[in-house]
């Protein structure tokens, strides 16, 4: 049967950028790879129709398909909604129920955009690293949590908690990835001051020694890692870290490469019966209400997210690379959505013009 995709365009610029991915999916159909595509609502769009940011039927469908592609959720229209039905809850429910524990955030610098980085050009030119962030555990979820009264003041409490199996599985994701890339993993924690960090380091080392001795492994304290990431990011290939440090490090790494409109992500879970991992692909950016509906959104983050789907869900690594090269080509040709328009200028293009150009480069 054909590989299956559930598309959830969501809100704001979500549907605009997803329309460009749709063109690429359809093109693959003409080349002999037909995807079974279904489309549904998530976030505010789902709330408007169903009174919930993710309908149960949509959740069930997400569990069945080979990959979910999500645009973005949220917007000012929904800011005053009750927390339980906020658009973000739709996304959180997907991540939680699909148990997507490995969040992959590449930081890749396209040569044509090297001037865009806040760092010196030689520090970022050709950069291609991958941060693997544990996504379903750690301090954002650990119990006990809450604000309690102690004596005559209040105390805010969160708990950093990691089980061996939670560390083990995300470490495996990182090592598997490294084997398909530069064969190098750097694990980051704070084993000097945190118990969970000590366990993290020990388990990552054990997984390495037992099953991935061929991959080069190093350990670094996360604060030192943050410094190294800014000083000389090209020393890294795959970085694996916990939920909290990964949140910070991946956002910092993202800015090495320029615009939010360029950043893809993947969230992967355990393998399904067909061997493919549970998977959700989405651009890092949000629904960008300030530019929604104006044809200004950069569709590249969403397109590159689809490239990740080709590589990690559909074993179409060569096609993924072709798609990435097509993006590189249009950037080298000087095409720029508004967010990419730097001092050097370029040819201004709309969302759909950018999508068309990538498709033209892909099919050339």
Q: How far is the CB of 95 from ligand NAI (least distance, A)?
A: 10
Q: Given the rule CB under 6 A, which of 27-35, 57-65, 294-302, 324-332 is the region that contacts ligand NAI?
A: 294-302
Let me know the angle formed at the C-alpha of 102 by 81 and 203, rounded to the nearest 5 degrees: 130
Q: Does 247 bind ligand NAI (CB under 6 A)?
A: no
Q: Dihedrals φ, ψ of 34, to 5°? A: -95, 125
List the one residue out of 137, 126, 325, 110 whose CA is nearest residue 237: 126
Q: Round the CA-based radius of gyration of the chain to a whole number and report it.
A: 20
Q: Does 277 bind ligand NAI (CB under 6 A)?
A: no
Between CA 279 and CA 67 the distance in angstroms is: 5
Residue 87 assigned ligand-binding role? yes
Q: Does 16 bind Mg ion (CB under 5 A)?
A: no
Token pair recorded at residue 324: 């990435």
Of the pair 55, 190, the CB lying nearest ligand NAI is at 55
**Active-site hit among 247, 281, 312, 339:** 247
Q: Does the annotation mark 128 as catalytic?
A: no
Q: How far is the CB of 152 from ligand NAI (least distance, A)?
A: 36
**Active-site hit among 23, 99, 140, 211:** 140
User: Which residues 6+ apart lie within 8 Å of 59 measured at CB?
Assistant: 93, 94, 97
Residues 307-346 within binding reach of ligand NAI (CB under 6 A): 339
Q: Does 261 bind ligand NAI (CB under 6 A)?
A: yes
Residue 291 assigned ligand-binding role? yes
Q: Does the annotation mark 96 as catalytic?
A: no
Q: Does 20 bind Mg ion (CB under 5 A)?
A: no
Residue 95 assigned ligand-binding role? yes
Residue 251 assigned ligand-binding role? yes
Binder among 166, 176, 189, 247 for Mg ion (CB under 5 A): 247
Q: Given the rule CB under 5 A, which of 96-104, 118-126, 245-253, 351-359 is the region that contacts Mg ion?
A: 245-253
- For residue 40, give Cα distances in angstroms to 90, 107, 109: 12, 29, 33
Instruction: Please return the burial class of 15, using the count of CB atoms within 10 Å of its CB with bins 0-12, 13-18 and 19+.
Output: buried
List the one residue out of 161, 160, 162, 159 whose CA is nearest residue 146: 159
DSSP state of 42: -
Q: Does 242 bind Mg ion (CB under 5 A)?
A: no
DSSP state of 91: H
Of the pair 29, 293, the CB lying nearest ligand NAI is at 293
Q: Does 74 bind ligand NAI (CB under 6 A)?
A: yes
Between CA 254 and CA 55 the distance in angstroms is: 32
Between CA 357 and CA 349 the distance in angstroms is: 10
Of the pair 229, 263, the CB lying nearest ligand NAI is at 263
Q: State the catalytic residues.
A: 140, 190, 223, 247, 251
User: Annotated binding residues for substrate, as ranges?
Assistant: 95, 105, 133, 223
| Site residues (vs Mg ion, CB under 5 A) | 247, 251
């Amino acid at each position: 049967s054909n590989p299956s995709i559930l598309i959830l365009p969501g809100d704001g610029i979500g549907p605009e950028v997803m329309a460009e991915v749709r063109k690429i999916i359809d093109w693959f159909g003409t080349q002999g790879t037909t995807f079974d595509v279904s489309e549904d609502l998530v976030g505010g769009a789902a709330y408007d129709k169903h009174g919930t940011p993710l309908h149960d039927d949509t959740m069930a469908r997400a569990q069945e398909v080979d990959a979910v592609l999500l645009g973005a959720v949220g917007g000012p229209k929904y800011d005053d909604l009750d927390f339980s039905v906020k658009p973000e809850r739709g996304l959180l429910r997907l991540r939680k129920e699909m148990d997507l524990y490995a969040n992959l955030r590449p930081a890749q610098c396209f040569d044509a955009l090297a001037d865009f980085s806040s760092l010196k050009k030689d520090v970022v030119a050709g950069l291609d690293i991958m941060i693997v962030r544990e996504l379903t555990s750690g301090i954002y979820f650990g119990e006990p949590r809450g604000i309690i009264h102690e004596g005559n003041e209040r105390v805010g409490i969160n708990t950093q908690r990691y089980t061996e199996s939670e560390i083990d599985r995300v470490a495996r994701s990182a090592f598997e990835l490294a084997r398909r890339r530069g064969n190098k993993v750097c694990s980051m924690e704070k084993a000097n001051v945190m118990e969970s960090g000590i366990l993290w380091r020990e388990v990552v080392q054990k997984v390495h020694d037992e099953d991935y001795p061929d991959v080069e492994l190093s350990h670094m304290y996360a604060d030192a890692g943050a410094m190294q990431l800014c000083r000389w990011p090209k020393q890294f290939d795959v970085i694996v870290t916990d939920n909290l440090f990964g949140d910070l490090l991946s956002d910092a790494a993202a800015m090495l490469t320029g615009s939010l409109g360029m950043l893809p992500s993947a969230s992967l879970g355990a393998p399904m019966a067909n061997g493919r991992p549970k998977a959700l692909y989405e651009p890092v950016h949000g629904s960008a209400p300030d530019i929604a509906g104006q044809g200004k959104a950069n569709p590249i983050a969403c397109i590159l997210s689809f490239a990740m789907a080709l590589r990690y869900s559909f074993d179409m690594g060569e096609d993924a690379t072709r798609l990435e090269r097509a993006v590189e080509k249009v950037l080298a040709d000087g095409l720029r959505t508004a967010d990419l328009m730097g001092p050097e200028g370029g040819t201004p293009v709309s969302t759909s013009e950018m999508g068309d150009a990538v498709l033209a480069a892909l099919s050339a």
